């Protein structure tokens, strides 16, 4: 892994794909344990665009029936959170009376997951659990517990494995941090 440039910023290697895979394996085992033998079909709610790579990898490891749904929310502009969460798509299925596992790429301020959780509860979801690939514990100060966290990271701007800087870098299999 070597440093990369996206737009006007340079990023150095931070988390190699092999560590991401191990973290996804571990979080998938926790989810499988919680949903083992379930008779219903939970909804795996992928938050686009950032969580698409994590969600795809996670789904391959789940051993119970589940339905994939997508939603697109936006709260970032450049490298900063705007503090405002906008819904730009979805959700793509009815969640009324269903168990939902939100599949998020990264949780920092928590504004997005709080808004999404409230929206799904308002739409009648029977249960909403939150699964995130990455958590910035220094920044997250909400009272809502996160059910499944694959990895914790420091409060730094990162790209790769679905995370972007102004729509570039999502396709990188490793994660990079802003220099």
Per-residue pLDDT tens over the stretch 17-49: 999 999 999 999 999 999 999 999 999 999 999
Domain boundaries, the chain: 18-153
Per-residue pLDDT tens over the stretch 79-136: 565 666 677 787 889 999 999 999 999 999 998 899 899 999 999 999 999 999 999 9
Q: What is the pLDDT of residue 79?
A: 55
* 108 carries an active-site annotation: yes
State the architecture of 18-153 in CATH terms.
Answer: 3-Layer(aba) Sandwich (3.40)
Which position among 108, 141, 147, 164 bears the catalytic label? 108
Would you tell me how many other CB atoms lie within 10 Å of the CB of residue 43?
Answer: 24
CB-side exposure of 155: number of CA atoms within 13 Å? 9
């Amino acid at each position: 892994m070597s440093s990369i440039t996206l737009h006007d910023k340079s990023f150095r290697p931070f988390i190699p794909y092999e560590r991401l895979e191990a973290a996804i394996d571990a979080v998938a085992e926790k989810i499988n344990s919680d949903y083992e033998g379930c008779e219903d079909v939970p909804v795996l709610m992928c938050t686009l665009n950032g969580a698409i790579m994590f969600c795809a990898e996670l789904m391959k490891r789940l051993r119970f029936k589940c339905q994939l749904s997508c939603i697109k929310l936006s709260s970032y502009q450049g490298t900063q959170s705007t503090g405002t969460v906008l819904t730009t798509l979805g959700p793509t299925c009815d969640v009324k009376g269903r168990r939902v596992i939100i599949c998020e790429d990264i949780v920092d301020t928590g504004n997005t997951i709080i808004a999404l959780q409230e929206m799904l509860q308002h739409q009648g979801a029977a249960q909403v659990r939150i699964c995130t690939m990455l958590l910035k514990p220094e920044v997250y100060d909400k009272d809502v517990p996160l059910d499944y966290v694959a990895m914790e990271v420091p409060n730094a701007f990162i790209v790769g494995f679905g995370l972007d800087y102004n729509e570039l870098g999502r396709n990188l299999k490793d994660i990079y941090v802003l220099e």
